[in-house]
Amino acid sequence: MAGDVATAAHVIDGKAFAAGLRARIAEAVPAFRAATGRVPGLAVVLVGDDPASAVYVGSKGKATLAAGMASFEHRLPASATQDAVEALLATLNADDAVDGILLQLPLPAHLGEQRAVATIDPDKDVDGLTPVSAGRLALGIPGMVPCTPYGCLLLLEDRLGDLSGKEAIVVGRSILVGKPMAQLLLGANCTVTMAHSRTRDLPERVRRADIVVAAVGRAEMVKGDWIKPGAVVIDVGINRLPPAAGEAKGRLVGDVDYAEVSVVADAITPVPGGVGPMTIACLLRNTLVAAHRRAGLADPEGL
């Protein structure tokens, strides 16, 4: 606080951080190429024609090429069988030019997602969603870590440095975000609380935390009076509000009430422009790391 004027929180610029990370990844690709004679490759598999998924797959492909890596896109029809999806994943597992495999979720309802994901070679599992990757993360041994929580960890370390001993709360326990986030914070020596829809006295628990990660999917749920002054708040949520009068579509907001929390917290990620851009950057980072490990090279530094 400066004098008697409430100071607005530092706004954590995920867009700028992600751009820097992507630039460092692109700079590391030529050295990999010199050592191995090839560039890292990411294969993305899209089953069906969900328009949002098609957009995500397109932007992942573009980002991969922009980093100087090879991008392989595979599309299967919405009617594809479980066997067809798993056969394609097996082909990619065996393909030496492919270092990372991403199966775009959700799959059409007739397919078993967990079974399909589990067929991905854990060493190519750049989404970090196979049971083996989850197990490695829990055991604290090197493996692939889900992109969104890894991006959150990078932003936290950039703001706070060493996280040892910090009280952290993760609100949300999904396989994609909440659970791996809690594991990463535990690995960074935080004291971690995992909260979810059955947690009692949630505001009181959040108020104890130095680090708050909200991954709930409920617009502006975390309020200003839930936050300990000086806490760092990472808002993973992406929620579209109903359109206000005169708006064609509603505003995007996070799971945190930005207006309230940004006058209490030390730092906060905005929505959009906070965690979102980190996800694709971390996908590229995981692909580069997977490529190095598969080639028997040390992990690239500074990523």
Is 148 a binding residue for ligand NDP by CB under 6 A? The answer is yes
Q: Give the shortest CB-235-to-ligand NDP separation in angstroms.
A: 9
Is 173 a binding residue for ligand NDP by CB under 6 A? The answer is yes
Angle between helices 276-294 and 51-66 (to 10 degrees): 60
The pairing of strands 191-195 and 211-214 is unpaired
Stretch that binds ligand NDP, among 15-23, 109-117, 158-166, 236-244 (CB under 6 A): 236-244
Q: Which is nearer to ligand NDP, 163 or 171 (CB)?
A: 171
Show the binding pattern over residues 258-277: x = contacts ligand NDP (CB under 6 A), - = does not. Answer: -----------------xx-
Among 45, 163, 171, 234, indicate the residue that binds ligand NDP (CB under 6 A).
171
Q: Give the shortest CB-118-to-ligand NDP separation in angstroms.
A: 19
For 71-85, give one letter per residue: b (16+ CB within 10 A) or e. bbebebeeebeeeeb
Determine whether 127 is an active site residue.
Answer: yes
- Of the listed 99, 123, 125, 127, which one is catalytic? 127
Residue with tokens 């979810």: 196
Among 36, 174, 191, 193, indicate the residue that binds ligand NDP (CB under 6 A).
174
Cross-strand partners of 73: 44
Residue in 144, 145, 102 with CA at minimum distance from that of residue 123: 144
Residues touching ligand NDP: how many (CB under 6 A)? 25
Restricting to residues 73-112, name those near ligand NDP by CB under 6 A.
none
> How far is residue 129's CA from residue 24's CA, in Å, rounded to a whole number?
25
Instruction: Kindly report the backbone phi and psi dihedral angles of residue 41, in degrees, each rounded to the nearest multiple of 5, phi listed first.
Output: -130, 140
Determine whether 223 is an active site residue.
Answer: no
Is 193 a binding residue for ligand NDP by CB under 6 A? The answer is no
Using alpha carbons only, what angle is made at residue 112 by residues 107 and 117, rounded to the nearest 5 degrees?
Answer: 80
Q: Give the shortest CB-126-to-ligand NDP separation in angstroms.
A: 15
DSSP for 196-244 reads -TT-SSHHHHHHT-SEEEE-S--TT-B-GGGS-TT-EEEE---EEPPPP
Among 62, 197, 229, 247, indicate the residue that binds ligand NDP (CB under 6 A).
197
| Element at 101 (helix H, strand E) | strand 100-103
Angle between helices 276-294 and 147-160 (to 10 degrees): 100
Is 176 a binding residue for ligand NDP by CB under 6 A? The answer is yes
- Of the listed 99, 104, 179, 255, which one is catalytic? 104
Determine whether 183 is an active site residue.
Answer: no
Residues in contact with ligand NDP by CB under 6 A are 148, 171-174, 176-178, 195-199, 202, 215-218, 236-239, 275-276, 279
Catalytic residue set = 60, 104, 127
